[in-house]
Copies of this chain bind each other. A is one copy, B any other.
Amino acid sequence: MNVSVLGCGRWGTFIAWYVNKAGHDVTLWGRQGSKNLQVLMDSRKNDYLTLPDEIELSHSLENAVTSAEVIIISISAQQLRSFAKQLSQLNEIEGKTFILCMKGLEADSGKRLTQVFSEELGKSTNVAVWVGPGHVQDFVNHIPNCMVISSENIEITKKIVQAFNSDLIRFYYGQDLIGNEIGAATKNVMGIAAGMLDGLNYSSLKGSLMARGTREISRLVRAMGGNDLTIYGLSHLGDYEATLFSLHSHNRKFGQMFVQGEDFGKLAEGVSTVKALKELSAQYHVELPISDAIYEILFENKDAKKTLEDLILRPVKFEF
């Protein structure tokens, strides 16, 4: 099958490498001026892996999209709307299958990424998400993991799983797109919270954070019409190791450096998700105390130590 991967950051480049290994013809696209693509064109390498010669590298969005049956998108989540507008200008996108590999929500609207995508491209394309745990660093060292493909159409989901399943990534069929998208995005917020706890020498409170965090997001998913058990599956709880505990996790690291007064150098995706959750909390009338606390620390200069102590050690007597 012809597959194009749009976006050549750490994760997009890994996906191109992986999909090629799974037996497909792959084009990896980067925008004009992309440093990542230039490095790949010059050396066919990045910090994590070497791309085989048969993967085509391209600056032409039109070629990448028109030549492929399945198009995988791995760009910054907050840029998805403008990028989707660009895609909608192209010919021949009808009937194609797009897979979104980002974990985020639109910051201003709280919308899920498949919603954003469908609003811009209409309903004539198929859209799915590819979420769940896994570090690029591990995969390239042959350490396998389980991930999830989810869409509103089980036939599309099955087709994608069949095409991309391997010993390295064992895919499950997602059965709840709302839950899988909200779960995948919000685990980054818990990652920031975990990093803050690490930075405050409160790592042992990450247990309470996991119990409370899953419950909080589960309530939101239910209010949004999803299945409240989805959060306890791979897309959210199953991604906690990679996000709340791993040294590789950007969101955890961001939270840790934030409370230590250091500069992470860029915003972690969970920062935008915290904004989106403020929106969703209001829209669906669901209290999100952990997300609110992180919002107050990040955007309202509340003291992290006191805010997290009040949050996790506050006198709530009953657990549920």
Asked if A320 contacts B204 (CB within 8 A), the reply is: no
- The one of B204, B237, B245 that contacts A135, using a Cβ cutoff of 8 Å: B204
Asked if A170 contacts B315 (CB within 8 A), the reply is: yes
- The one of B144, B173, B237, B309 that contacts A210, using a Cβ cutoff of 8 Å: B237
A144 partner residues in chain B, CB cutoff 8 A: 205, 309, 313
A-B contact pairs, 20 of them (CB 8 A): A143-B201, A143-B205, A144-B205, A145-B204, A170-B314, A172-B316, A172-B318, A175-B318, A204-B246, A206-B241, A207-B242, A208-B238, A210-B237, A210-B241, A211-B232, A211-B234, A229-B320, A232-B232, A234-B319, A245-B245
A173 partner residues in chain B, CB cutoff 8 A: 317-319
A interface residue count range (under 10 / 10 to 19 / 20 to 34 / 35 or more) = 35 or more
Asked if A146 is an interface residue, CB under 8 A from chain B, the answer is yes
The docked-state distance in angstroms from the alpha carbon of A64 to that of B246 is: 46
A234 partner residues in chain B, CB cutoff 8 A: 207-208, 211, 319
The docked-state distance in angstroms from the alpha carbon of A239 to that of B239 is: 17
**What is the count of identical protomers in the complex?**
2
Take A146-B312, A202-B143, A313-B144 as given contacts and tell me if A319 and B233 are in contact as well, using a CB distance cutoff of 8 Å.
yes
Asked if A9 is an interface residue, CB under 8 A from chain B, the answer is no
Asked if A148 is an interface residue, CB under 8 A from chain B, the answer is yes
* Shortest 8 CB-CB contacts between residues of A and residues of B: A207-B241, A211-B238, A133-B207, A206-B241, A233-B319, A207-B238, A138-B204, A146-B208
A135 partner residues in chain B, CB cutoff 8 A: 204
User: Nearest Cβ in chain B — how far from A244, in angstroms?
Assistant: 8
Closest B residue to A212 by CB, please name it.
B238
The docked-state distance in angstroms from the alpha carbon of A309 to that of B144 is: 9
A208 partner residues in chain B, CB cutoff 8 A: 133, 145-146, 234, 238
Asked if A240 contacts B210 (CB within 8 A), the reply is: yes
